[in-house]
Amino acid sequence: MQQTLFFTALTDISTSLDKDYLLENDIILAHKLNDVTLPPERGFHLQLVAEDKYGYKWAKWIVRIELSDSPYSGYWEGAGTTT
């Protein structure tokens, strides 16, 4: 069964990634950059760091993470941006 995690930012913008992709690529949620807590403009408290994905997948200011058994279209995906 394909599972999807979706991430919602403080700004209500969201994005999603397949659970398998997250696990296979060691995708992280960053709260520090070079041992310094992320400043607000860089995504404080958490920023998704998704190597090999476009910047819109690097969601900042994450406030909610949900797991779903169905595909999920986030803000940019719904606007026609590819994953």
The yes-or-no verdict on residue 55 having pLDDT over 90 is no
Phi-psi region of 26 (alpha: psi -120 to 50; beta: other; left: phi over 0): left
Q: Is residue 83 in a domain?
A: no
- CA-to-CA distance for 38 and 80, rounded, in angstroms? 30
Instruction: Specify if 78 maps to a domain.
Output: no
- Is 52 within the bounds of a domain? yes
In a domain, 82, yes or no: no
Q: Given a cut of 90, is residue 42 above it in pLDDT?
A: no
Q: If pLDDT is split at 50, 70 and 90, which confidence band does 56 have? A: low
Answer whether 6's CB lies under 8 Å from 15's CB: yes
Q: What is the β-pairing status of strands 14-18 and 36-37?
A: unpaired
Confirm if 25 and 51 have CB atoms less than 8 A apart. yes
Give the domain range for residue 38.
Answer: 4-68
Q: Is 76 part of a structural domain of the chain? A: no
Number of folded domains that form the chain: 1
Q: Is residue 74 part of a domain?
A: no
Domain assignment present for residue 25? The answer is: yes
At residue 64 the predicted structure's pLDDT band, cuts being 50, 70 and 90, is very high
Question: Above 90 in pLDDT, residue 63?
Answer: yes
> Does residue 50 register a pLDDT over 80?
yes
